Chains A and B, each alone.
Chain A
Amino acid sequence: MMAKTHALFGVAAGSLLVGTADPFCLGVAAVASQLPDADTSKSIIGRILFPISRLLEKRFPHRTLTHSFLATMLIAAIAWPLRWHSPQLWKAALWGYFFGWFADAFTRAGVAAFYPLTSARLVIPANPRLRMQTGSKAEYIVILLLIGVLAASLHLNTKGGLMRTLTMALGRSESLVKLYQAEGARRRVIADIQGRFAASNVPLHGSYDVIEASGENLIVRAVGEKDGVLYLAGHAQECASCQILIERVKGALGAAVTTVTRELRFEDRKIGDVLDSLRADGAEIRISGEIILDDADLLSWPISLQRFNPVTVSGASTKTLKLQAATPADLERAADYFGRGQLLVREVRDVR
């Protein structure tokens, strides 16, 4: 097999299995994929490592010691220090080396994969006429296929990896919840929702910012409307309280953001003062948690059936406010009351 086929095999497999598009990682995989051929001075790597290749070719037939599981384990051990720098680099080196020699199992002579336990050669498939010859047309077809796999892998990896892309293609809210959990602290997550409003059955198709995940459902807001209305979106059969019923949803990553989360406890403080302390310029504040207000008989809170209610109230004289993705503006009604509470405050700022 030609050096470029080995390199492509190593890089494509490394990219798929490590899930990276990092050029340095892929470079390491490409170099590692050449190392098995250090057992012959006819190869490029053999010429570079001449004293070693000379020694190896005198003692071992081609594609034995360096094309084995034993050598792969040795490389894994030798390359272990790479893990301290980056585990991905180590994995890239390992997969690059493994697929560098494993590709030769598809050639006529095969590889002594279980050397030194046995010198018998591992071949795929069993029929030698269907296996490749170095420089044959079949090898060039394999090169084209590998380029295709590599391109697809790089495309997938820049979009978050194979698994994420596949699950996204299924159009389920659960996939978007996972995307939000993985990336929501660094990037805005945009949901392209196809479905209908639960109350009116009016169809909808639009882009929404994911504000928060609530179980397997999403709290969303129309893109660009910073103070816009929130909706709870989920699949009809799994979410009875959702305002948007999803038929299909696709996720995408939007602008970069920074997220700071802090916990706040207070006792017998005026809520208005608490809210003043939360406000921050240019940041979007989302509050979750619980506030208990004493002597709040007169406090009433409107409930909407067509949108998500970030604040829900229970109790008579002592009222408990349950918050989820609420803004300070949502709590203005309670500003003059005194109370105690425990809040989780999330500040999201756009990175400029």
Chain B
Amino acid sequence: MNAREEILGRVRLALADRPGSPEIDWEYGRPVSTGGLGLVERFAERVADYHAEVEMLDREDIGPAIAAALGDARHVVGDRTLRESWPSGAELEWLDASDLTSAELDQVDAVVTTATIGIANTGTIVLDHGRGQGRRAASLVPDVHVCLISADQIVSDVPEAVARIIELGAQTHPLTWISGPSATSDIELSRVEGVHGPRTLRVIVVR
């Protein structure tokens, strides 16, 4: 008997007492908010709580804000969709991640992406790596990540985010949930921001 048949056979034997399928007493997709702030303010507060930088701006201020967020960075990853939707006006050498190897990605200064969803309660941004976001490595290898998210992409809570992802049909896309910059607590449980992922995360909320 092959391993598959044998394991499935063992599972069926183990469940010979036929335990019934339990009811799950949970209303899926129901938003639960924590804290007294409004949606966008709560998102900003929780993102900042992870020591990410966050600012809320009007549409016309975004270009200069991107340029400012990039600081001294000159080689910046951002795909065509991003560049066309959010012209920064700055003198930058833009690169498309799909043209770069991992080693080349390691040499760029920063990456700019959009996001799919923001979660207020947990200060999380969700990327589904579609247009405007680039492949997964693009928002990982560079040391600075600037992420643009519009206020109407922000939902209250994890259940609402999960419902929205399913609604968008994005649940089988590669997904990355990002809550603050890369961090570790592995040495004496003292939190250190910045290990392998971008050590600087700047989130710009477009009102």
- A and B, one complex? no
